[in-house]
Structure 1
Amino acid sequence: MSKLKILFLVFLIMASVSARKAQESIGNYQIRVAPDRDDWTYELNQPVKFNVSVTLNNRQVSGLPINYSCGLEAMPPRMERTATTSEQSLTIEAGSLSEPGFLRCVVTMKKDGRSYRGLATAGFRPDLIKPTTKTPVDFDKFWTDGRAELAKLPIDAKFEPLPTYSTANVDVYQVNFQNVGRQSDTPSRIYGILAIPKVTRPNQKFPAVLNVPGAGVRPYKGFLTLAEKGIITLQIGIHGIPVTLDQTVYDNLAAGALKRYMFDGLDDKNDYYYRRVFLGCLRANDFLANLPQFDGVNLAVMGGSQGGALSIMTAALDSRVKSLAVWVPALSDLTGEIYGRAGGWHRVFKDSKNRTPEKIETTQYYDTVNFARRLKVPGIYTFGYNDETCPPTSMFAAYNSVTAPKKLILALEIGHALTNEQSARINDWVESFLKNEKK
């Protein structure tokens, strides 16, 4: 081999070594926590162990200090400890529960100026969880009177075509219609996005779905997934404002006038913010029922979080609803904190100053549990054990109160979210039911 070739090979080797020295590897630490039972569910008084692993590039990392705490979900921990990771996963003996509920283990770590967190939640006979909220004696009369007030108002529907939202198969509109106001003679409006499948044959009619929203203030684009499959969908907002404005409008309202809307008027059941919202959902069904394209029979309601609560309420109060789909339902068993356990979102009674007779009474008229008790139609429900927004104790309190036909899909690891898999299962179930495949 010539000297020139040798020098060239030496150069390549040195360049390669230099490049490797300059190369920096970066990865993401992950904290994985899991109970020692595959189904995360235990009998009462059965001990639970949580297995904890801290990984970098999918390899267990040793020598890292971590903090962990265990206790009833959403309540102050009953055990707090520190530990150091090793090449093997850490096992935490977290004890047990003697009453139905959930025990949560939270693990945290700081490394290189960053914070990391992982958690898992063990359920102890969640099927036996009972609600703490009470049903007012005049509960049914209260809502019957509200519906009578609503019935006096003409629907007065307005349609605005949205060609940029429409597709080859679906016509989309922004609509608004009349609703009750708040303790005044002045009506309010409900705005939403209506998606109607295009007719492909004479006199064609379609089933319909009311899609009710989660908490917050935002614009909407419509629920076209089911509309593309031949189902009318109406996706509504709850705040009485158009749902196609610039995002900054909603951001400003969320940070200002509507920041704490879920607590507005909580001292008076007749002036509570959600009264107009609940009745507005029923008015949305009035609107759908009057559409000439509706088949007149097959109507469902679906939503998650706040929308899960609104779905259960709407199906309970409106006999036109034939089925419902619910995920991570909020407003469930709101009085939980008063009894030493997690209450549902919006967690109003976490602050003991809110535990007044007036607020407690008002929540009873709006608690998801009291509507769940009145359901008579089939429903599909899905949520997980790791939800930190709508505690699973509160969601099971509502779900266990349902005596109508029901199907539960547990996504154990999922927090306050809906995965693609859950969404597909829900949409398939609703479509099949409305098209008479599950009746």
Structure 2
Amino acid sequence: MIKSLRFVFLALFVALQFVAYGQPAERLIQVQVTPDHTNWLYKPGEKVKFKVAVLKCNIPQDNLEVRYEISEDMMKPHQTGKQSLKNEKLEINAGTMKKEGFLRCRAFVNYQGREYEGVATVGFDPEKLQPVTPLPADFLEFWKTTKESAEKWALEPIMTLLPEKCTDKVNVYHVSFANNDYASRMYGILCVPKAPGKYPAILKVPGAGIRAYNGEAERAGKGFIILEIGIHGIPVNLTGDVYHRLYNGALKNYHSFNMDNRDKYYYKRVYTGCVRAIDFIYTLPEFNGN
């Protein structure tokens, strides 16, 4: 359980770094940004080149203007520019970093009055990064109390089989279970191998944004229970327009809701929801404990 919890918090920390740039999953235009190192890692002083491609309905586009910003992680951009795609691609010289950290490229394309965005972030000796602020004195006690408070609510899981998503090897369910307060629930897609036996489980936490999820039936067919969760306390099998309206309406800028209050901050229920997801996995008869 301890290792699982560590993974959950690390994954959510990484997701939070990208949260400001989340977009609905279904997009007419895709802006792809990739670095010139396949492992996305660099040594201080090494120069980085980002490659940009723009796809419309998965078809590469040409002659579109791309606006880009280069920044160190979440800092203000220190380099901006505009270039046009030539021969369906664009290469951006992003410079380098002289110390460990992260360098980010954001690329934007306007099409039919709407702006589309792609993001890529590379690391410079990230394993050498050190904390820049000490933990609050009551950090561990706060989360211990928070988790214990959430666990007082019975999970009351609901599992609905999705026949149209099932395969010959895997059953696929839309699931929900209690989180940390009255009527607060987490939702996700659960894939379970059909063959009798016990299986290891994977908890898949999302990146930023508000969208539907399909689960991972193909990978589950190789012998894994896979639970893919959303974080917003809403079903994850609705139509795309619902999430688009929430993203631009009631949940716009959700990542900063109550940021000045640790007990009301939006991500508090997200973290507890991930812990409850682990608890839910442990209730599955097909789970082997790994």
Task: Confirm or deny a common fold (TM above 0.5).
Answer: yes
Q: Which has the higher strand share?
A: 2
Please, which runs of 5 or more residues in structure 1 have no aligned partner? 1-31, 54-66, 81-91, 109-118, 299-439
Alignment of 1:15-414 (within 5 A): 41-42=42-43, 74-77=75-78, 99-101=99-101, 125-181=125-181, 186-200=182-196, 204-295=197-288, 297-298=289-290
CA distance in 1, matches of 2:255, 2:94: 39
CA distance in 2, matches of 1:216, 1:93: 26
Q: Which has the higher helix share?
A: 1
- C-alpha displacement at 1:187, in angstroms? 3.4
**Deviations, residues 382-413 of structure 1 (Å, cap 9, x unaligned):** xxxxxxxxxxxxxxxxxxxxxxxxxxxxxxxx
Cα separation, partners in 2 of 1:205 and 1:266, compared to 1, 3 Å = same
CA distance in 2, matches of 1:52, 1:222: 31
CA distance in 2, matches of 1:105, 1:214: 17
Query: Do the aligned partners of 1:72 and 1:104 also contact (CA within 8 Å) in 2?
Result: yes
Tell me the percent identity. Answer: 40
Query: Do the aligned partners of 2:203 and 2:228 also contact (CA within 8 Å) in 1?
Result: yes
- C-alpha displacement at 1:103, in angstroms? 6.7
CA distance in 2, matches of 1:157, 1:129: 40
CA distance in 2, matches of 1:50, 1:247: 36
State the partner residue of 2:61: none
Which letter does structure 2 place at the counterpart of 1:165?
A: K
CA distance in 2, matches of 1:49, 1:34: 10
**Deviations, residues 263-304 of structure 1 (Å, cap 9, x unaligned):** 111111000111111101111111110111112x21xxxxxx
Cα separation, partners in 2 of 1:142 and 1:230, compared to 1, 3 Å = same
SS at match of 2:186: strand
State the partner residue of 2:4: none
Query: Do the aligned partners of 1:217 and 1:254 also contact (CA within 8 Å) in 2?
Result: yes
SS at match of 2:200: strand
- C-alpha displacement at 1:126, in angstroms? 4.4
**Deviations, residues 190-226 of structure 1 (Å, cap 9, x unaligned):** 11111111124xxx21111111111111111112132
Query: Do the aligned partners of 1:173 and 1:193 also contact (CA within 8 Å) in 2?
Result: yes
Which letter does structure 1 place at the counterpart of 2:272?
A: L
Cα separation, partners in 2 of 1:256 and 1:226, compared to 1, 3 Å = same
CA distance in 1, matches of 2:50, 2:179: 52
SS at match of 1:206: coil
Query: Do the aligned partners of 1:50 and 1:105 also contact (CA within 8 Å) in 2?
Result: no
Which letter does structure 2 place at the counterpart of 1:196?
A: V
Which is higher, the Rg of structure 1 or of structure 2?
Answer: 1
- C-alpha displacement at 1:40, in angstroms? 7.1
SS at match of 2:258: coil
User: How many residues are aligned here?
Assistant: 228
Query: Do the aligned partners of 2:35 and 2:122 also contact (CA within 8 Å) in 1?
Result: no
Cα separation, partners in 2 of 1:70 and 1:261, compared to 1, 3 Å = closer
SS at match of 1:276: helix
CA distance in 2, matches of 1:164, 1:264: 36
Query: Do the aligned partners of 1:194 and 1:232 also contact (CA within 8 Å) in 2?
Result: yes
SS at match of 1:279: helix
Query: Do the aligned partners of 1:170 and 1:228 also contact (CA within 8 Å) in 2?
Result: yes
Which letter does structure 2 place at the counterpart of 1:269?
A: R
Which letter does structure 2 place at the counterpart of 1:144?
A: K
Which letter does structure 2 place at the counterpart of 1:240?
A: G
**Deviations, residues 141-197 of structure 1 (Å, cap 9, x unaligned):** 11111111112111111121111110111111111111113xxxx231111111111
Query: Do the aligned partners of 2:175 and 2:187 also contact (CA within 8 Å) in 1?
Result: yes
Cα separation, partners in 2 of 1:143 and 1:251, compared to 1, 3 Å = same
Cα separation, partners in 2 of 1:136 and 1:291, compared to 1, 3 Å = same
CA distance in 1, matches of 2:102, 2:70: 11
SS at match of 1:238: coil
Please, which runs of 5 or more residues in structure 2 have no aligned partner? 1-33, 52-66, 82-92, 109-118
- C-alpha displacement at 1:257, in angstroms? 0.7
- Greater relative CO, 1 or 2 (CA 8 Å, sep 6+): 2
